[in-house]
Amino acid sequence: MQTLVISCGSPNGNSEILLKTALLAAASSSPTITTSLVSLQSLSLPSHAMPNHLEQSLDLALTSIPDDCPALLDAILLADALIISCPIYTRQPAGRLKAFTDMALGPFVDAAFVSRALKQNAAGIPRFKDYVKDYVPDERVLKNRVVGLIAVGGAIGTEWGSLALPGLQQSIFSLHAKVVDQVIIRGCPFPGESSFTSKKIGKSLSLTLSTEYQKKIANSITNHSVLIEGVEAINLAKRVGRSVTSGIGKGYDEATYLGEEGSCPYCHLDLVVLEGKGSNACECGVCGAKGILETYGEGRIKAVFEENSGTRVVTWKGKDNHMEEIEKTGKILRPKMDGAFDKREEFGKMEFEKVDFPSQRGDQKWIALFKDATPQNF
């Protein structure tokens, strides 16, 4: 069984240290597991589209940039388990992961999409050949796959990381991979955190923060600084590694979620979107499950989600319903596409004042620098 771990942060930074900790725990839990580590920072992931994408980027100044995107996708599809560790930037996962997700983990590796395409190909009904050249569905998308997620941030307050785990889940749900554990680590603003203690942090902030908030920060640093021996952060990372090992080889419905529970029983997170307009209807902002707000106890409120909700994007039913929706929409729009293509061409011919960039004016000095550079230079 192959476990692939993906670091989305700085080399040997907090997220990578925790990832390696999870990897060691996973490997020690089972002698049959083989492991590989990939650092997104070390890869060349240009912004142009991969071959199966519907749209190709325009006006590429450099077409000879090495592209590691297909090789990384291949490694993901070969893996039986994934562990992704990512720093939190501006309340969200690092943008490099989102860029890779958009380039490689979109509809063409959606499990329901691939399943339907394989069935129709077997029946002699090729899908999308009229506007996706040489599309070949990859059956490896459909293999059983489990995932562990780790998000690492510097802030203490929950408001600074509330979009982290929801964002990480969006990167893998198209594969129909089962998240078996997920953790968010707070209070780690510096790489390694090895030189800080709770006492030093509390003292340094004494001029600007209340005593109560100093204690809150000090406790968080004590619990989460990733290189302080015996702290909670290391233990949480180990737990993620062991959870992944326990689920490896199992199907989506057979693998057991072992992380902390949230308001939503399907993605186990707490991001709830209110319908508003005086209604008590709501939905999960991560997986799309529908529900309602109910009161209980002494004026408390909780979200109660539907059983077997057909809108849950993390389930096969939700993905399949989405495919039916796309097919119905396509049947309605396809007869009208000729006129749309003509209008689109008109927009393509429009010219506007542009910002001048070295890569787009053929600056040979800049091009040479880019070609000779390694990813770590950026």
Q: What is the CATH number of the domain that holds 105?
A: 3.40.50.360
**Looking at 88-97, 149-158, 308-317, which range is the least confident one?**
308-317
Residues 6 or more apart whose Cβ sits within 8 Å of residue 128: 117, 135
Asked whether the predicted pLDDT for residue 212 surpasses 90, the reply is: no
Query: What number of residues does the chain have?
Result: 378
353 part of a folded domain: no
pTM of the model: 0.80
The model's confidence at residue 211, banded by pLDDT at 50, 70 and 90, is low
Of residues 155 and 3, more confidence is placed in 3
**Looking at 24-28, 64-68, 127-131, 330-334, which range is the least confident one?**
127-131
The model's confidence at residue 222, banded by pLDDT at 50, 70 and 90, is very low
Asked whether the predicted pLDDT for residue 151 surpasses 80, the reply is: yes
Question: Do the Cβ atoms of 141 and 111 come closer than 8 Å?
Answer: yes
Looking at the chain, the whole-number percentage of residues with pLDDT higher than 90 is: 35
Average pLDDT of the residues in 203-223:
44
Of residues 46 and 166, more confidence is placed in 166
CA gap 349, 183 in Å, rounded: 49
Residues 6 or more apart whose Cβ sits within 8 Å of residue 127: 116, 117, 120, 121, 135, 137
The model's confidence at residue 236, banded by pLDDT at 50, 70 and 90, is very high
CA-atom Rg of the chain in angstroms: 23
What mean pLDDT, rounded, does the chain reach? 80
Asked whether the predicted pLDDT for residue 242 surpasses 90, the reply is: yes
- In this structure, the strands spanning 290-296 and 281-284 are antiparallel
Per-residue pLDDT at 163: 93
Of residues 66 and 290, more confidence is placed in 290
CA gap 242, 246 in Å, rounded: 6
**Looking at 111-120, 132-141, 186-195, which range is the least confident one?**
186-195
Cα distances (angstroms) measured from residue 328 to each of 27, 113, 184, 325: 46, 14, 39, 5
341 part of a folded domain: no
Question: Do the Cβ atoms of 292 and 281 come closer than 8 Å?
Answer: yes
Give me the helices (H) in the chain, please: 14-29, 69-78, 95-104, 111-122, 164-170, 198-204, 211-224, 232-247, 316-333, 337-348, 364-372
Asked whether the predicted pLDDT for residue 378 surpasses 70, the reply is: no
Average pLDDT of the residues in 279-292:
91
13 part of a folded domain: yes
367 part of a folded domain: no
Cα distances (angstroms) measured from residue 190 to each of 146, 227, 310: 30, 11, 43
**Looking at 55-59, 263-267, 270-274, 367-371, which range is the least confident one?**
55-59
140 part of a folded domain: yes
Cα distances (angstroms) measured from residue 148 to each of 25, 107, 168, 322: 12, 22, 10, 25
Asked whether the predicted pLDDT for residue 199 surpasses 60, the reply is: no
Asked whether the predicted pLDDT for residue 256 surpasses 90, the reply is: yes
Which of 185-199, 248-262, 310-324 is most confident?
Answer: 248-262
Question: Do the Cβ atoms of 321 and 311 come closer than 8 Å?
Answer: yes
Provide the sign of the torsion angle of the four alpha carbons 224, 226, 230, 235, taken in this order: positive
Burial of 59 (0-12, 13-18, 19+ CB in 10 A): exposed
339 part of a folded domain: no
318 part of a folded domain: no
284 part of a folded domain: no
Asked whether the predicted pLDDT for residue 48 surpasses 70, the reply is: no
Average pLDDT of the residues in 299-320:
84
Q: How many C-beta atoms lie closer than 10 Å to residue 375's C-beta?
A: 14
- Residue 4 DSSP code: E
Per-residue pLDDT at 64: 66
CA gap 308, 101 in Å, rounded: 27
Q: How many domains does the chain have?
A: 1
Structural domain that includes position 144: 2-260
Q: How many C-beta atoms lie closer than 10 Å to residue 300's C-beta?
A: 8
